[in-house]
């Protein structure tokens, strides 16, 4: 994300392998935020930035469009891997936020039973080699509904997984 104040101007060019060149061609500083880290680019200067690669959710959670079936009130380990633009593990993720929104339980969607649950909720866990986990405990009130879980790791993208909570 590039925040350009009134009167500012930038050009953004892809340079390959998840790297971008941000050239400030305006007369005022601009703010560049990539993967949760912000930096100012002064007027007339250029900055190179790189993006993270969210590999996707790991088992027991399946990526969309699959509905992950689990009993409400159980805790599910939400796991993923995060790499830099060159494929090296990101080892310093500082936070992860989970939010939930309602989802229409569409008929015909592929449903997969969650194969693993855990004892309870937890904060962000660094499992090493770019792997992370948050244990998410769904409320019992989710029974007989579907929900979309949103994972925000500060990379400017909300990563989502779908869940079905039968009676």
Return the CATH number at 133.
2.60.40.10
Do 84 and 142 fall into the same domain? yes
Last residue of a domain, one of 35, 50, 65: 50
Residues 24 and 94 reside in one and the same domain: no
- Same-domain status, 33 and 101: no
Q: Which of 39-48, 135-144, 158-167 has the lowest mean pLDDT?
A: 39-48
- Most confident range, picked from 14-23, 85-94, 97-106, 151-160: 97-106
Quick one: what percent of the chain has pLDDT higher than 70?
Answer: 94
Which carries the bigger pLDDT value, residue 167 or residue 25? 25
Interacting residues of 90 by C-beta distance below 8 A, sequence separation 6+: 52, 82, 83, 84, 130
- The two tokens of residue 98 are 């989970």
Final residue in a domain of this structure, among 17, 34, 50:
50
* Residues 91 and 118 occupy one common structural domain: yes
Looking at the structure, do residues 67 and 122 belong to the same domain, yes or no? yes
pLDDT at 117 (0 to 100): 93
Reported as a single tens digit per residue, the pLDDT across 109-126 is: 899 999 999 999 999 999
Claim to verify: residue 159 and residue 93 sit in the same structural domain: yes
13 contact partners, CB below 8 Å, separation of at least 6: 20, 21, 23
- Same-domain pairing of 61 and 131: yes
Task: For residue 140, count other CB atoms closer than 10 A to its CB.
Answer: 11
14 lies in the same domain as 67 = no
Let me know whether 19 and 83 are in one domain: no
The total domain count for the chain is 2
Does 34 lie in the same domain as 106? no
- Please tell me what DSSP assigns to residue 141: G
Arithmetic mean of pLDDT, 147-165: 90
pLDDT band of 47, cuts 50, 70, 90: confident
The residues near 114 (Cβ < 8 Å, ≥ 6 apart) are 60, 61, 68, 69, 70, 74, 76
Residues sharing a CB contact under 8 Å with residue 139, sequence separation 6 or more, in sequence order = 72, 73
The string over 90-128, giving b where at least 16 C-beta atoms fall within 10 Å of a residue's C-beta and e elsewhere, is beebeebeeeeeebebeeeeeeeebeebeeeeeeeeeee
Range of the domain at 27: 2-50
Same domain assignment for residues 111 and 143 = yes
Confidence of residue 58 (pLDDT cuts 50, 70, 90): very high
The structure tokens listed for 137 are 């405990």
Whole-angstrom distance, CA of residue 93 vs CA of residue 143:
32
In this structure, the answer to whether residues 74 and 99 fall within a common structural domain is yes
* pLDDT at position 137: 97
- Give the pLDDT band (50/70/90) at residue 20: confident
């Amino acid at each position: 994300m590039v925040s350009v104040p009134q009167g500012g101007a930038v050009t953004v060019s892809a340079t390959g392998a998840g790297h971008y060149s941000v050239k400030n061609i305006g007369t005022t500083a601009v703010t560049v935020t990539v993967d949760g880290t912000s930096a100012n680019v002064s007027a007339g200067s250029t900055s190179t930035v790189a993006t993270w690669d969210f590999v996707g959710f790991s088992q027991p959670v399946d990526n969309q469009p699959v509905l992950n079936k689990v009993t409400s009130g159980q805790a599910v380990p939400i796991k993923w891997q995060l790499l830099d633009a060159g494929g090296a593990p990101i080892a310093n993720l500082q936070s992860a936020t989970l939010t939930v929104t309602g989802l229409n339980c569409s008929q015909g969607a592929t449903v997969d039973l969650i194969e693993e649950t855990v004892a309870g909720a937890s904060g962000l866990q660094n499992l090493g080699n770019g792997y992370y986990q948050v244990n998410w405990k769904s409320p019992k009130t989710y029974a007989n509904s579907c929900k979309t879980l949103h994972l925000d790791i500060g990379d400017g993208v909300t990563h989502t997984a779908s869940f079905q909570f039968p009676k």
